[in-house]
């Protein structure tokens, strides 16, 4: 099978007349859409007919078939991939910020503990007891 028409490397390949879409029976216009050439012909009036029709598949039918099978367009896939990449970058950034916040919290706790120790060490010594006579 070959793909040609608008947006492909082969935009100007002539369709073999009378060519129709295998699914919708419309004649695809390659200037307006991508077209798949199935390389198959069918007899218009059955086996006794002398008219052979080249069968193509037009872009709208391919899209409908893809959607019915649960597939998404390349543009949608690319956007989802970009969104996922952006979300992952946000997660990495937030994880880094959380790590820094935890480290800062640890430093604050340590500073409070150190101040308590200093305060304990700098208390004036108790007055010596003078023995009473």
Kindly report, residue by residue over 12-67, the tens digit of the pLDDT: 667 777 788 888 988 887 778 888 888 888 876 665 556 678 888 999 999 999 99
Residues 42 and 77 in one domain: no
Residues 9 and 55 in one domain: yes
Asked if residue 40 is part of any domain, the answer here is yes
Q: Is the bond preceding 18 in cis, omega lying within 30 degrees of 0?
A: yes
Q: Token digits for 128?
A: 């010596």
Cα 13 from Cα 5, distance rounded (Å): 7
What pLDDT does 15 receive? Answer: 74
Residue 22 burial (CB < 10 Å; 0-12/13-18/19+)? middle
Taking residue 1's Cβ as centre, other Cβ atoms within 10 Å add up to 9
Give yes or no for residue 131 having a pLDDT over 70. yes
Cα 93 from Cα 95, distance rounded (Å): 5
Cα 119 from Cα 133, distance rounded (Å): 36
Residues 12 and 62 in one domain: yes
Residues 53 and 9 in one domain: yes
Domain that holds residue 14: 2-68
Average pLDDT, the chain: 82
Asked if residue 126 is part of any domain, the answer here is no
Residues 45 and 90 in one domain: no
Residues 64 and 78 in one domain: no
Residues 56 and 87 in one domain: no
**pLDDT tens for each residue of 91-123:** 999 999 999 988 887 776 677 788 888 887 777
3-state class (DSSP) for residue 60: helix
Domains: count for the chain: 2
Question: What share of the chain has pLDDT > 70, as a percent?
Answer: 87
pTM: 0.52
Q: How far is CA 8 from the centre of its chain?
A: 23
């Amino acid at each position: 099978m070959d793909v040609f028409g608008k947006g492909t490397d082969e935009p100007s390949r002539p369709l073999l007349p009378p060519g129709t879409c295998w699914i919708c029976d419309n004649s695809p216009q390659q200037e307006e859409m991508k077209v798949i050439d199935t390389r198959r012909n069918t007899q218009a009036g059955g086996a006794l007919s002398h008219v052979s029709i080249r069968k193509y598949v037009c872009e709208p039918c391919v899209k409908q078939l893809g959607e019915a099978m649960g597939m998404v367009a390349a543009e949608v896939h690319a956007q989802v991939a970009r969104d996922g990449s952006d979300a992952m970058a946000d997660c990495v950034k937030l994880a880094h910020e959380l790590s820094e916040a935890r480290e800062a919290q640890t430093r604050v706790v340590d500073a409070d503990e150190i101040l308590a120790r200093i305060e304990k060490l700098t208390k004036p010594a108790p007055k010596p007891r003078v023995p009473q006579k």
